[in-house]
Every structure is written in structure tokens, then in C-alpha cells.
Amino acid sequence: MIKAKAFAAPSAKAPLAPFSFERRELRDNDVHIEIHYCGVCHSDVHQVRDEWGKGMFPMVPGHEIVGKVTAVGSKVKKFNVGDLAGVGCMVDSCLDCASCKEGLEQFCERGFVGTYNSKEKDGTPTFGGYSTSIVTREEFCLSIPKNLDLAAAAPLLCAGITTYSPLRHWNVTKGQKVGVVGLGGLGHMAVKLANAMGANVAVFTTSPSKVDDAKRLGAHEVIISKDMEQMKAHMGSFDFIIDTVSAPHDYNLYLSMLRRDGNMVLVGLPDTPPTLAAGALIMGRRKLGGSLIGGIQETQEMLDFCAKHGIVSDIEMIPAQKINEAYERMIKSDVKYRFVIDMKSLA
């Protein structure tokens, strides 16, 4: 077995603390990655605190993992020792159902295996990236382009693919008017990616203090969503809106911003059911959809796109020992725009 150090939550009521455990020995198709950096996602907080159902403890969170390959199994073909590699939200799936065969492992009909707070096919629990290393089957490892800043690339494996996938699936192209609801960890990536795709990007935010930053990130316009005069000026004008907000809010207001046949896609996950007015959809033949991360092939496509356009996340680096403080700050939206843990701090 391979010894690893980590930070883990011993229970839903306890702060994260140092934790030692063992990774499995390499199988023929496994890749061993020495983790250099791991991003901190808001979903880590939800799962650690049992806000999405009962978790498996002790829990080592983290699914935005980047580092260096230190060993490979005898049948591994895509990775060599010394390569930069990453692991996102999944470490396995059936690979045999219709979704998996289409490269949509996130919709595996038997359920994908999460990078943490999940169980491998043999029933052993998965531990995530707030740790010194990870062992993962080759099919779920990503190649990290060398020209990307490694630490700032880590959040691409969740925040990046979560926003890239719907932009690609709904065919956002040059000249379209694209709205981004919310300017946080997901929203700031949506702005960068949509801008690189050639869209005219507008950010919807409740915070006037975010106007300058939204424009720095690539937004062409910023709309204060609490100002109804500003909202009315843009009604019926958007081709596509990506809604990244996880707090309860009025979907109907943003649906009214869409032109006829426009699409609005949800990637945020509020904890209360929304009220949806049918007229907001019917009156413009508008469509409301949702999107979940992306498949492995599409995630690699996203990383290569980011390498081509020089896109990474805006990050604040922290040592693992600051993770509990980072969680409290993240809940208050006190980060621009993603915390990343430097795993050297666990040495």
C-alpha cells in the first residue's frame, strides 16, 4: 500500500484535521500522481457538512487535483513518469452504458464513482485531493498542458469544465450575446471561456463592487440585477445565459432576458426548489436546461482550449492548515475566485 498524508473531516460536525491513510498499490491500468495542488470547491463544504445527504467519514475532500506522475501500471499507455496530470470529479464509471460509450461518464447509468465521498467498485471508500498523492485508473486521468500555470490550472478540473461543457453543448459562437449570472468561482470561468469563444459577454451581479473585476476578466457589460431599469434595457436580447448561482433566486427574471429560442442553463444548485412561471418559457419559446461537469474527453478538450487561449483560474494559494478558515471565507464569498491548496504544506 502507498502511504499518504491528508486533511480530512472526521465527522460532519468537526473541522478538518491532519489524517494519514493508504492508497492502493498500482493495478495494471493505474496512474500514481504526486499531488502538487488541489482546488477548493464549494461542493467540498456541502459534502463535508452533510448538506447534500449523509457523507462517508472520515472524508478527504478535493476533486481539482494536479501534480506529477510518479509511477504507472504495466498496461498504461497515455502517461509516463514525469508527466503533468490531473484528476477531476470522477475516478471511475461502468464505461459500458450508452452515456459512457458516448464519452459522457458524468451521466453513467450505473452511477460514476466520485473522487471522494464515494465507493470504488470493490466497496472501498474514495479519498480526494487534499492529500499528498492519488492512485487512479488511466481512463480518468487528464493531461495538463505544460504552458498552463499548474496551481491556477487545478480549478479547471471542476469550475472550468462545469462552465465549458454547457457553452460547447449549446454551441456558443462568435458574436452571440451571452449572460453569466453570478461572478464567483464558476462565474469568473464562464466569463473567460465565453469571451475566448468570441461571445459578447455580460455579467449579471447584485454587487456594484464587482463591475471593474468583471470587465477585467473579459465581460463587455455588467448588469446590476437589482436595478430593474438596467434589467429592462436588456430584456429579450440574450442568445444564451449560464446561471452559476447556488443561492435561491428568481429564474423567471433571467428567462425574460432571453431572445426568442434562447437557452438558459443552470450549473448552480440552490437548496430550495424554484418557482417557475410557464409564461417565461412559452412566450419566447425559450428553453431552460441544466448541465453537470463534463466527460473525460470533453475535459481534456477544455484543458487544451485553455492552453491555446492562456486561460486559468484566478486563485488564492493557501497551506492545508488554513482549510477551515478558507471554508468560512468561501461561504462569505471572500475569495477571488478559487482557493488552491499547496500540498507542500503537508510534507
Is a pLDDT exceeding 90 seen at residue 347?
A: no
Least confident range from 8-22, 216-230, 235-249, 268-282: namely: 268-282
Domain boundaries, the chain: 2-158+313-346, 160-290
Lowest mean pLDDT, pick from 77-81, 107-111, 267-271, 318-322: 267-271
- Cell 468561482: give the residue: 185
- Which DSSP symbol is given to 336? S
Mean pLDDT of 306-311: 98
Residue 186 near residue 268, CB atoms below 8 Å:
yes
Looking at residue 147, its amino acid is: N
Average pLDDT value over all residues in the chain? 97
Measured in whole angstroms, how far is the alpha carbon of residue 325 from the centre of its chain? 21
Give the pLDDT confidence of 130-157 residue by residue, as tens digits: 999 999 999 999 999 999 999 999 999 9
Nearest Cα to Cα of residue 145 among 131, 134, 156: 156
Residue 52 clears pLDDT 90, i.e. is over it: no
Q: Is 229 exposed, middle or buried (CB count within 10 Å of its CB: 0-12, 13-18, 19+)?
A: exposed
Q: What percent of the chain has pLDDT over 70?
A: 100
The Cα-based distances of 78 to 81, 101, 136, 137 in angstroms read: 11, 19, 13, 11
Does 201 score more than 90 pLDDT? yes
CB 303 within 8 A of CB 294: no
**Which residue type, as a one-letter code, is found at position 44?**
D
Amino acid symbol at 118? S
Are the C-beta atoms of residues 67 and 37 closer than 8 Å to each other?
yes
Q: Please report the beta strands in the chain, taking only residues with DSSP state E, as ranges in sequence order.
A: 2-8, 17-23, 30-39, 65-72, 84-87, 90-92, 113-114, 133-137, 142-143, 177-181, 200-205, 221-224, 238-243, 258-266, 287-290, 315-319, 338-342
Helix, coil or strand: residue 92: strand
Question: Would you list the DSSP string of 93-153?
Answer: --S-SHHHHTT-GGG-TT-PEESSSSB-TTSPBP--SSBSEEEEEGGG-EEPPTTS-HHHH
Rounded Cα distance between 135 and 29, Å, is 10
At residue 230, what is the residue type?
Answer: Q
pTM of structure: 0.96
Residue 198: per-residue pLDDT: 98
Q: Which three cell numbers stand for residue 45?
A: 463544504
pLDDT at residue 272 in the model: 87
Whether CATH 3.90.180.10 fits 2-158+313-346: yes
- pLDDT of 270 reads 87
Please give the pLDDT value at position 271.
82
Q: How confident is the model at residue 53 (pLDDT cuts 50, 70, 90)?
A: confident
Instruction: With CA atoms as reference, report the closest residue to 233 among 257, 201, 204, 207.
Output: 257
Please tell me what DSSP assigns to residue 51: B
pLDDT tens digits for range 222-272: 999 999 999 999 999 999 999 999 999 999 999 999 999 999 999 998 888
Among residues 181, 167, 175, the alpha carbon closest in space to that of 254 is found at 181
pLDDT band at 197 (very low <50, low <70, confident <90, very high): very high
Q: Tell me the backbone φ, ψ of residue 177, rounded to 5 degrees.
A: -95, 115
Identify the CATH class of 160-290: alpha beta
Question: Are 246 and 254 within 8 A, CB to CB?
Answer: no
